[in-house]
Structures are given as structure tokens and as C-alpha cells.
Structure 1
Amino acid sequence: MYSKPIRLEDLHIENWPNLILWAAPIMFLLVFIEWGISAYQKKDTYNTKDFFAASTIGLVNVGISALIKVATFGSALFFYNISPFTIPVTWWSFILCFIAIDFARYWAHRIAHEQRFWWATHITHHNSSKYNLSVSFRLGWTQHIKVIFFFPVMFMGFNPFVFFICHQIAVLYQFWIHTEYIKKLPKPIEFIFTTPSHHRVHHGSDAHYLDKNYGSTFIIWDRMFGTFMPEAERPTYGITKPVTSYSPIYLVFHEWNDIFKDLRKANSFKEAWKILFDKPGAEIIANREKAESEKKAASDSLIREELLSLEVQEK
């Protein structure tokens, strides 16, 4: 299709198919069908305010994606042009690129759960206590900075058009796994691909379900890197510190706000670094351990005072 070097204007990005935009009407139709089935069966699967919050977040995200489209695929073009490799545009290059993107998505997703800075870009997707197709719309507006995790894939020599199509398909795959109506699928599928069963575990806030099943399309990465957990009992959805607001602004930025508050209290660069890149909730655990330590120290001190008092009385 193209030979190096390619200029941005040569790509004619405006003519590339926007698969996500084309799929949007079908996705909304399926959401309303699921909502209707849920209402008919009197299941507490949907909340109207939660749905409109998710939809608003998703629509704004579509706008942000459109605005930064040139920057995103300008990056893909830059790394393609400086790469010593060139992978031809063939049917197998799409498959290879998709696998490479999914591998990068696994690590981007995992790091977003393991470091608080990146968690702030991702928490919006998890802060609903519901689990339905509309939850797939809840993608934080700051999540686009995670494009840096895909720079190595861009550098592998895939044509920017191939990367663009595979990236869109990877995003679209996420839609159908956000449902409780699809139970476990046949074992060969469950072994290789991420399914609704796997992703329900990922959205659970139960202690044994936390930080499991990061795979986007392929669950095989979780099996390889020790983060796989099969679904047993129905998960408790949401985050460990539940939010009660339905404001899209709050749902997107509440963790960023908490981070900035904590940074203002930091007494050193080391402390600020830990606030940004420690595991989410680490400061809560540290404060709890500190309180328990102080409580134990106070208790030990009281015991020593009582023993000393007894010794004095015996004398």
C-alpha cells in the first residue's frame, strides 16, 4: 500500500474506515435489548443514572479520539518510518499486528491496576457497581495517554493502516464481554479468548478477584503470567472504595483529584513518587498499618506501666 518514508498527508487518514463509529448504533441497540430483557426479568442489571453517565463518558471519549486521531496515528507513522523493519500489508500482517497489540494491551491494562498514576486513567471503567454492556462505554478521558504502551508495536514495522484497523477491532472486542447474560463458553474458547466469564472476574471487587484477568482479546497472557482466575461465585462489581456520584466529571477525575490532594501533603520527592507509582490503595494500607502499629505500641506501653505498678505494690 505504502513504501517508506511516508508523510502524514500521504495516509489520507480522513478516508480510513471508522469501525467504532459504524458499530456504535448496533452497540446501543444491543444495550437497549439487554436493558429490556433485564427489566422484563426484573433483574437489577441497569440503573438509569448509571447508564446515562456511562453513555456521556463514552460519547465524550469518541470526540476526544476524533480530535487526537492525527496525533495518535502520526505517532504510528513516526515509529514506522524510523523502524529498520517493514512488514508488508498482507492478511497475515493483520493477524500478527492484532496479536502484538493485544500483548501490549495486556501489559498496559496490568500496569493500570498496579500503579496509581495509570489507575487514575482507568478507574472510570471500574467505578460502576453494575455490570452490563453499557459499562464498555465507561473509558476515562485521560486513558489516551496510554498510547505510549503501543509505541513498541508501532516500531515493529507494521503499516500505520494495519495498526489502525487492528487497534479498532481490539477496542470493539471489549464490548460483548461486558454482560452477565453470556455464561461460560466451550472450553477451547475459554482457554484462549477473553470471555464474559473471565471479564466478570476482572470487574469484581472481592479480595480474591482483585487484579486478575487483564487479557483484552486473549486470556492466554493471564495464563502465561500468573494473573488468571476462573469465575466461581458472582462477583461484587465496582471498586473497593465505592463511589455514589453519577456525575461524569466526578467519575472521570475523582482519583486524579485524590492524587493531587495527596501530592500536596508529600514531604519529599520519594514520597511523591510513591503516591504516584505505588499500587492503588497502598497509602490506605500504609495508614492502616501505621494506625495498628501505634495502637499496638500504646497497648504495649500500657501493659508495661501496669506491670511496673504491680512491682511497686509488691515491694
Structure 2
Amino acid sequence: MVKEYLTVEQLDQIGLPPIIPYAAPVMFALVLGEWALGLYKKRNVYHNKDFWAATAIGLTNVIISALIKVATFGFALFFYNLVPWTVPSKWWSYVLCLIVIDFCRYWAHRIAHEQRFWWATHVTHHSSKQYNFSVSFRLGWTQHIKIIFFIPAFLAGFHPVVFFICHQIEVLYQFWIHTEFIRKLPKPIEYIFVTPSHHRVHHAINDKYLDKNYGSTLVIWDRIFGTFQPEEERPIYGITKPVNSFNPVYLVFHEWMDIFKDISKAGSLKKTFKILFGRP
């Protein structure tokens, strides 16, 4: 099969199905439903300032994604065009691409918890002491640099359109697992897929829950690589060093500011490297 080399212009002309924007009304309806259910059950599910901070962070992320779309396409195409092979755009290639992306997301997520530089791109998502659907909106504005973790998917030869569709599906999957109202699901589902129960553990700061359950859609990677932890005691959410702010800009950049402060006092390249890539 002769490979068709693509340009950014061609990819832009093809267009991508805006799966997440189409899903947005449903997502906000579910947020409203979760909020109403919390009131009915007299549970403090939503904190007003926390919710609006998450919404502001999420909407800004949508704008940033639109602004850097050409750069993102260009990055993907560079590596896709680098290899002479391609994966045919058949139904099974979407399934295979989802699995490859999910594997990449596992390692991107794990490294974001194990190295401070990458933690700065991710900490925003964990800084809420609440756990509800709106937490899925809290994605750091610098997270887009983590596209480098998906180079293997581009080099595998997946068409960029296939990649971006599958990646939107992966991102959308994250929404429904951010809730306390869905308890444990039947064992076959809990064994293979990431569920709200698994992800509650991931967002918790309980000692036994720290740095567990990195899976995005499939929890099998955690089982294979020894990072799986079932939900047992009640999770306590947030980060070990609370931010205590609802300012969206501060929530996104506070860890970056701390890193720069520490680097300014480092005094050597060795210490600077340790600050950047040591554990958070």
C-alpha cells in the first residue's frame, strides 16, 4: 500500500468530527443532574467557587486547543510522514488506535505523577477537594506539551484523523468517571475498564491510594505494571500540599512558579535537573 503523505492544509480540509463540543450539552446536563441529586441527598457535592474555577479552566483550555490546532496538526504530521508505512483506516484500526493511545496515556499520566516538570502540567486536575463531573474540566493549560508522549502512535502509522478521533473519545471517557454517585460496577467491567471507583482512588491523598490507578480507559495497564489499587476506605480528595485558592490562573501556574523559585536557588545544573525531574 502506497502511503499518502499529508500536509497541515490537507488535514485541515478533511476536518475532524468535533466529538467533545457535540457532547458538551450532555456533559453540562449531567453536571446539573449531579448537582440536583446532591441537593436531594443533602450532600455537599459542589462548591460554587470550585465549580466556576473548573469551568473557567476548562473553557480556556478549549480556546487554547483551537489556537494551537495548526501546531498540533503539524507535530502529528511530522512523525506520521516520517515513516513509510501506514495503518489502513478500517474499523479495526480505530480499536487498535484506542488501545495504543490508552497505553501512551497510561505512561504520560504516570510520568506526570513521578516527575515534577510533568506534574506541573497535571496538578491543576488534582487540586480540588471535591470530586464531581466538573473536576474533569480542570485540565492544566500547559498539558498540551504532553503530545510528545503520543509520538509512538504517529510512528505506528495511524492516520492523524484516526488518532484525533480516538483521542477525543479517550478524553470524553474521562468525564463520567469523575463522580461519587456511581459505585462499584460488575466485576468484568471493573477488571478491564477504568471506573469511577478506580478513579476516586487515583484522586485521593490517603496513603494507600497515592500514585495508583493511572489508567485512562483501560485499567489493565495498572494491573500489568503494579499500580492498581481497589477502592477500600473512603477517599480524601485533593493534593498533599493544598493550594487553597479558587483563582483559575493560580490553580494552573502555582506549581510552575514554585519550580522557578526553587531553580533560582539551585546553584547547580545537577540540582536544577533534580528539581525538574525528581519526584514532586
TM-score range, shorter chain: over 0.9
- Higher-RCO chain (CA-CA 8 Å, sequence separation at least 6): 2
Aligned twin of 1:188: 188
TM-score where L is the length of structure 1: 0.87
Aligned twin of 2:155: 155
CA distance in structure 2 between the aligned counterparts of 1:153 and 1:13, rounded to whole angstroms: 22
CA distance in structure 2 between the aligned counterparts of 1:118 and 1:107, rounded to whole angstroms: 12
Deviation at 1:69, TM superposition (A): 1.5
Aligned twin of 2:117: 117
Aligned twin of 1:176: 176
Deviation at 1:105, TM superposition (A): 0.1
Question: Within the alignment, does 1:72 sit opposite 2:109 as a pair?
Answer: no
CA distance in structure 1 between the aligned counterparts of 2:161 and 2:184, rounded to whole angstroms: 35
Tell me, what secondary structure is at the counterpart of 2:84?
coil
Counting only pairs closer than 5 Å after superposition, residues 154-303 of structure 1 correspond to structure 2 as 154-280=154-280
CA deviations on 1:178-222 (whole Å, 9 max, x unpaired) are: 000000000000000000000000000111100000000000000
CA distance in structure 2 between the aligned counterparts of 1:40 and 1:66, rounded to whole angstroms: 38
Retained in 2: the 8 A contact 1:108–1:146? yes
CA distance in structure 2 between the aligned counterparts of 1:13 and 1:177, rounded to whole angstroms: 34
TM-score where L is the length of structure 2: 0.97
Task: Extract unaligned runs of 5+ from structure 2.
Answer: none
Instruction: Report the AA paired with residue 181 of structure 1.
Output: F
Question: Within the alignment, does 1:39 sit opposite 2:12 as a pair?
Answer: no
Tell me, what secondary structure is at the counterpart of 1:104?
helix
Aligned twin of 1:293: none
Tell me, what secondary structure is at the counterpart of 1:276?
helix
CA distance in structure 2 between the aligned counterparts of 1:126 and 1:21, rounded to whole angstroms: 23
CA distance in structure 1 between the aligned counterparts of 2:152 and 2:126, rounded to whole angstroms: 27
CA distance in structure 1 between the aligned counterparts of 2:262 and 2:236, rounded to whole angstroms: 28
CA deviations on 1:123-177 (whole Å, 9 max, x unpaired) are: 0000000000000000000000000000111111011110010010000000000
Deviation at 1:13, TM superposition (A): 4.8
Deviation at 1:50, TM superposition (A): 0.2
Tell me, what secondary structure is at the counterpart of 2:62?
helix
CA deviations on 1:35-90 (whole Å, 9 max, x unpaired) are: 11101211011100000000000000011111111211222222111113211000
Retained in 2: the 8 A contact 1:73–1:164? no
- Give me the identity figure in percent: 67
Aligned twin of 1:6: 6
Deviation at 1:3, TM superposition (A): 4.3
1:229–1:277 distance in 2 versus 1, CA, 3 Å: same
Question: Within the alignment, does 1:49 sit opposite 2:53 as a pair?
Answer: no
Tell me, what secondary structure is at the counterpart of 1:24?
helix
Retained in 2: the 8 A contact 1:177–1:196? yes
Retained in 2: the 8 A contact 1:13–1:70? no
Tell me, what secondary structure is at the counterpart of 1:39?
helix
CA distance in structure 2 between the aligned counterparts of 1:217 and 1:13, rounded to whole angstroms: 30
How many residue pairs match? The answer is 279
1:61–1:266 distance in 2 versus 1, CA, 3 Å: same
Deviation at 1:14, TM superposition (A): 7.0
Tell me, what secondary structure is at the counterpart of 2:64?
helix
Aligned twin of 1:283: none
CA distance in structure 2 between the aligned counterparts of 1:13 and 1:138, rounded to whole angstroms: 31
CA distance in structure 1 between the aligned counterparts of 2:255 and 2:179, rounded to whole angstroms: 26
Tell me, what secondary structure is at the counterpart of 2:228?
coil
Retained in 1: the 8 A contact 2:131–2:179? yes
CA distance in structure 2 between the aligned counterparts of 1:16 and 1:236, rounded to whole angstroms: 39
Aligned twin of 1:131: 131
CA distance in structure 2 between the aligned counterparts of 1:88 and 1:172, rounded to whole angstroms: 24
CA distance in structure 1 between the aligned counterparts of 2:181 and 2:4, rounded to whole angstroms: 47
CA distance in structure 2 between the aligned counterparts of 1:101 and 1:277, rounded to whole angstroms: 24
Instruction: Report the AA paired with residue 207 of structure 1.
Output: D
Question: Which structure has more helix as a fraction of its residues?
Answer: 1
Larger radius of gyration: 1
Instruction: Report the AA paired with residue 232 of structure 1.
Output: E
Instruction: Report the AA paired with residue 173 of structure 1.
Output: Y
Tell me, what secondary structure is at the counterpart of 1:263?
helix
Aligned CA-pair RMSD: 1.1
Aligned twin of 2:20: 20
Instruction: Report the AA paired with residue 258 of structure 2.
Output: D
Deviation at 1:12, TM superposition (A): 2.9
CA distance in structure 2 between the aligned counterparts of 1:199 and 1:112, rounded to whole angstroms: 16
Deviation at 1:245, TM superposition (A): 0.6
Retained in 1: the 8 A contact 2:3–2:84? no
